[in-house]
Chain A
């Protein structure tokens, strides 16, 4: 039987009195890679922030492994095993690369040894080279890798990636997606947010399309790529 990892029911959310997301419903099962697509301002980032509870939802349920986490504070969501690689990386810029990765271990600090960082250095060898540098001195691509590495260091059951390709040169985007496919092979459940529809649908198995805060389409990646709506509005064909 497939195991539900995340289930969102009738979720609406926003900032202050402004509603950004309305009646969102979707679910992700174990080992699945799902993309949420949409243009700027569609509410993609708000969706991830609401799941990790940086923003509190107005109504609805967020069920993670059978528990409704909608009323959790953000640190408990993280401790439950959800990693959120936020938009722009949000690194600890005055700490070293090594210390940033160490903060990823934080939720398991009483159980795990630092050996787990070796695995991350294997996926991102550049981070080993930059180990003792301050995070603020990294290039854009390196920052993105460190942010993903920090998320992985928490050994999450489920990882959410907010536009890992944002602001990067095409060559670097390829490199980031190569690294992400290693995670996919390892069977980590992934929720990916992306403006770049081609990359997202090649990487993910399924997708949801978000427009003006509502889910307007869902389906297998191939179906979505072939749909008239996607072709017309997002791919410009």
Chain B
């Protein structure tokens, strides 16, 4: 019984970070209908940047988003104007080719720069364990989950209460109508792409407080976020969070009771099942 609780709880904590990663993907896909296959590799890239900032300048992993957030935002905006904006009027297969190409490129670059071996940071000031009623909780995971929730809440505020946020929602609802209101959709798309990318910087920093990074990680995070997005559908932030938790807990249970190597398999199973049974997701609109 205790093992189950422990496993579910650690799954919930991971699920919060997963939801944060998927939120980035959801912003991009929801607004401009572009399938960014490189999203998971943005997470990996963020983790390597965190590793650099940590090992070269001694910045604690939790604090690296202060540097990597603007960096990834800029990276996203450049990718948008350089690659994505040119493909908007093209067939969607061209967009897939472009983002899959970007994915391959990022993997190759990270292998060149950081080599194929796993990298980790030695110390974060949120390391250590705390005891809650007989259960052991890793402090780094708990803090990471809380920060993820705060960021998701902030994004919700941004989307509902600020002008750039409303621009994103209006453009996502009806591109023509948004243009008729005076919205420059190219700018809105660039902001959405930049923001979606920069969320991976926060997730990457948090992940590096308790795990290592290697060049194949992008696949895992890409798959994770697609699975969460498929579960959640578009347009519901609470739905996205719950889906993140479902994926986190399933992964954790599979690792505890089956085999740690089965984690991706379980996620893939959920993904296929959702697409098969309910393609618009559990919480999605329309």
Contacts and interface: CB of A to CB of B under 8 A. Distances in A.
B177 A94 contact: no
Given A94-B285, A95-B169, A103-B170, A84 B163 contact: no
A154 B182 contact: yes
B174 A75 contact: no
Given A75-B185, A103-B166, A109-B163, A95 B180 contact: no
Interface size on A, as a range, is 20 to 34
Contacts of A150: 181
A102 interface: yes
A22 to B, nearest CB: 24
Contact of A52 (B169, B172, B180): B180
Secondary structure type dominating chain B contacts: helix
Interface of B: 163, 166-167, 169-170, 172-174, 176-185, 235, 285
Nearest to B163: A109
A91 B177 contact: yes
A95 B178 CA distance: 12
Most buried by A among B166, B169, B174, B181: B181
A84 B180 contact: yes
Interface in A53-93: 54, 73-76, 78-79, 83-84, 86, 90-93
15 contacts: A54-B180, A75-B183, A78-B181, A90-B176, A91-B174, A91-B177, A92-B169, A93-B173, A94-B173, A94-B235, A95-B166, A95-B170, A106-B183, A150-B181, A154-B181
A155 to B, nearest CB: 12
Given A94-B172, A103-B178, 14 more contacts: A73-B184, A75-B179, A75-B182, A78-B180, A78-B181, A78-B182, A86-B177, A86-B180, A90-B176, A94-B235, A95-B173, A99-B166, A154-B181, A154-B182
Contacts of B169: 92, 94-95, 99
Contacts of B181: 78, 103-104, 106-107, 150, 154
B174 A90 contact: yes
B42 to A, nearest CB: 26
B166 A102 contact: yes
Given A86-B177, A94-B173, A94-B235, A75 B184 contact: yes
A51 B259 CA distance: 63
Most buried by A among B170, B176, B182, B285: B182
A27 B179 CA distance: 24
Contacts of A52: 180
Contacts of A86: 176-177, 180
- 8 nearest CB pairs, A to B: A107-B182, A78-B182, A74-B179, A92-B173, A90-B177, A79-B182, A106-B181, A75-B184
A92 B170 CA distance: 6
B40 to A, nearest CB: 27
A78 B185 CA distance: 13
A154 B180 CA distance: 10
A27 to B, nearest CB: 22
B179 A78 contact: yes
Most buried by A among B169, B178, B179, B235: B179
